[in-house]
Amino acid sequence: MSLPFKRPADASAAVPDVVPGRDRGTMGRRRWRLAVAPLLTLGIGIILGTNPFRPQTENPEATARGYLRYKEILNYIDRDYVDSVDADGLTNYAVAQLLGKLDPHSVYIRAQDREQTDAFLQSSFDGVGLEFNLFRDTATVVTTLPAGPASTAGLLPGDQLLRVGPTPVAGTHLSQGQLGQLLRGPRGSSVSLVVARRGQPQPLHFQFNRGRLPNASVEPGVLLEDKQTGYIKINRFAASTYEEFKAQLADLQRQGLKRLVLDLRGNPGGYLDRATRLADEFIAGSRKLVYTVGKDEQYASQTYAHVAGDWEQQPLVVLVDENSASAAEVLAGALQDHDRALLVGRRTFGKGLVQQPIMLHEGGELRLTVARYYTPAGRCIQKPYGSDKETYNHELAERQQRGEFASADSAQFAAGQRFRTDHGRVVYGGGGIMPDVFVARDTLHQAAYYQRLQRTGVLQAYALAFYQQHKVELVGLRFTQYQAVFRVTDTELDGLARLAALAGQRPDPAALRRCAPALRTIIKASIAHITYGPEAASAIWRDDDQELQQALRVVQDSTAQLALLGGH
């Protein structure tokens, strides 16, 4: 059944009031349960420490000759070249080409980009505290962070941004990144916004100071329907991940937790030591968790469990997928090698390289690969790479093309990379970590029609329009009521199709019917996100999460766990 909302006779009446402008399609949206990852996040494996740079090299004369050659050529270009040149731009290009000859994960981060990339691994950041959707060249507020600057100032879901400071932002073809740059700024700095609000004849003006906002890496843990199985999702291994996880686990234990599902899907990695500290919570004794091997002895290390963890004996299942990378793979690999947990999902990304951040004098940062990490059984899970980075970057697409996301039999590992766990199970290295229980990827969420609606902001725009039209009814419901009885009907799907057509997308009734189940879920989750917050949206996604449902079946079946883990 659906809620008794007064729906318009014409489904196109759910189209939002937008400032006219060409649809740029710049706000690609992911499923709400996944964190939106900024620049340079896929496959992060960072070790902390002081700047290790020393002028000594294996071949100092060759290094010195190369440096002098480059300096001399750049000086001649800057002085004598027929046209004016951007010497700094040429240097950035040369650095990119130089690093391009190394591995795929050694990168140079410009000084102006460091703040954004560093923020991804911090527990808080400076900003205004609002989420927006860019659709048809108009940015609309989706949610505001509770008690954040934008919320305190009075901005509401559905407000359309017309101006940020002196800069017009409606109908000006700004990208998502450009608009985000206008909104960002240091805490305490002032920002002024002009917005259009439904029902208000004149634009509204807001001026307030930016603030420090929380940037949690661990989503709130939940106790599921059986009141014994808990679920915790870790989106990345940031500065405060260990403490966040401990707090969520303790809260679930107070509620009667008996079994745990740990979700590492989409986790690109982060700080290596945060992942090993978490592994220590699950693995008893003084067993090895990970070791690293580099050319320099300072990067050779072995990390062992050494504390009495809070979850060393209880049932544990870990969800992984093709976007679980680096530090997330370290944790998954340690748990699998020691037969401590069952892994459910699909083969992980395959990133086994460790980067050392090196601060440069001009403010930029070099993240240089200095070591490979190995799981306790000796697996290096780095997938093969060569000089062609394009091939490496498209490796996941190749997996999909050969059917690996649909069948475990299509997985490919490097030859001779067979290892055994503590209980003698065969596992593989050289290409990610293969889970113990395979779950095929949901094809509907990968369909071109569905992806196009996400990428162009149509889905979020429709959810915002529905929220504004039915705000009174939605706000009057408790979330549990909404979750139980609200259904996205064919009327809503027709309205979505009409909105897509207004945005210039060719009608495709057959694709709409095929994708209907996935579209119903994302619309319901998006409306919940706007009305009740991100935790409510996550609850909607869990109801439709087949990988999680498989993990729950595994963690609740103790006999199956013993058989799969080689126990007696």
Token representation of residue 225: 């329907």
Q: Sort strands 316-320 and 342-345 into parallel, antiparallel or unpaired.
A: parallel
Q: How does DSSP assign 202-240, residue by residue?
A: S-EEEEEE-EEEE--SBPPPEE-TTSSEEEEEB--B-TT
- The helix/strand/coil state of 348 is coil
> Which residues does residue 124 pair with via DSSP β-bridges, in sequence order?
214
Longest CA span, the chain:
79
Of 106, 137, 233, 351, catalytic: 351
> For residues 65 and 55, what is the distance between their CA atoms, to the nearest angstrom?
14
Compute CA 353 distance to the chain's CA centroid, rounded to the nearest angstrom. 19
Q: Yes or no: say if 349 and 43 are a contact pair by the CB < 8 Å rule.
A: yes
12 is annotated as an active-site residue:
no
337 is annotated as an active-site residue:
yes
Q: How does DSSP assign 249-312, residue by residue?
A: HHHHHHTT--EEEEE-TT--EEEHHHHHHHHHHHS-TT-EEEEEE-SSGGG-EEEE--S--SSS
351 is annotated as an active-site residue:
yes
- State the CB neighbour count (10 A cutoff) for residue 258: 16
- The helix/strand/coil state of 162 is strand
Q: Which amino acid is at 542?
A: R
Of 326, 339, 383, 544, catalytic: 326
> For residues 11 and 499, what is the distance between their CA atoms, to the nearest angstrom?
9
Of 280, 337, 339, 545, catalytic: 337
> Which residues does residue 196 pair with via DSSP β-bridges, in sequence order?
160
Q: Which residues have C-beta within 8 Å of that of residue 548, sequence separation ≥ 6? A: 231, 261, 263, 319, 542
Q: Which amino acid is at 429?
A: G
Q: Catalytic residues, which ones?
A: 326, 337, 351
